[in-house]
Structure 1
Amino acid sequence: MPPSLLQRLPLPLWPPPAATAAPAASARCPFCSSDEDVEHLFLRYTGVATIWHAFGLDEQQIASLPQLEGVWDIPPPGQPATPRVWHTILLAVMWNIWKRRNNKVFNSVDDPASLVLQRCASDIDLCSHRCKNAESKQQLRNWASYLYVTIS
């Protein structure tokens, strides 16, 4: 830039004034004001049980983080799935629970469990389009269809 143009710019340009206020750092759950940790986020907060129930998992199967980690190694309840497909499904669930939390924190929007399940089904369906294995592709589509039926 020519020096004359630099002299005309109001400095500082960065950060913009609105960006200088950082979001409040809190260890509180945005849904219920309990202490928020990984176990609370994925197993305890409002509406999460409904999400896990849609995948055939109940509170007894996932009462703690070690039990949730153990779900990765068991065959899925209900619909058949290879381990790789089941892991993809679990990742979609956890990813959408995380996005629900962030939508509450950053946008003050409380997504209902049905919307989270719809997003899970959509993500699982998208994964099926990238899948090269015919059996895995069909299993992913079956899970997505199952979820779409469950939430309607």
Structure 2
Amino acid sequence: MVVVNIPNFAYMGRGESLSRVNRDKMISYVKAWEETEKANCNNRFERAIARIRAWETSKQSMVDANLSQAEQRLEKRRASVVENMKNESAEIHRIALEKVARAEARRNEELIAIEEESTRCQMEGRTPRSCLMPCFET
């Protein structure tokens, strides 16, 4: 804003004096208006900033809540998958133990059959039918 300095003369006429008073009055009104408008502008700006910060806080809390829920769902899923894998591992171990037990039972049966065949061959004085050493046959 440009303020024009009016020189003070020793003698001013009544019209000039009134004109100067009106001009000073107008300038003071303009300055008051300017200050009021600046204050209103700053207040609007502060309210807008407060609304933006409130919006940001609200959105951020929603995102944090969603993230927390997602982490909980993932943790439950992870726990479920881990439990399933442990159950599957235990089932595999149980089946393996059963197979080992059956194989040992079959081996014991075969060993008993071999011992019985050996005893029978010794009593009868003959070699077993599937003997791989034919040189010992009589």
Question: Could you say which TM-score interval applies, normalised by the shorter chain?
Answer: under 0.3
Q: So what's the TM-score if we normalise by structure 2?
A: 0.19
| Bigger relative contact order (CA 8 A; separation at least 6) | 1
Q: So what's the TM-score if we normalise by structure 1?
A: 0.18
Max Rg structure: 2
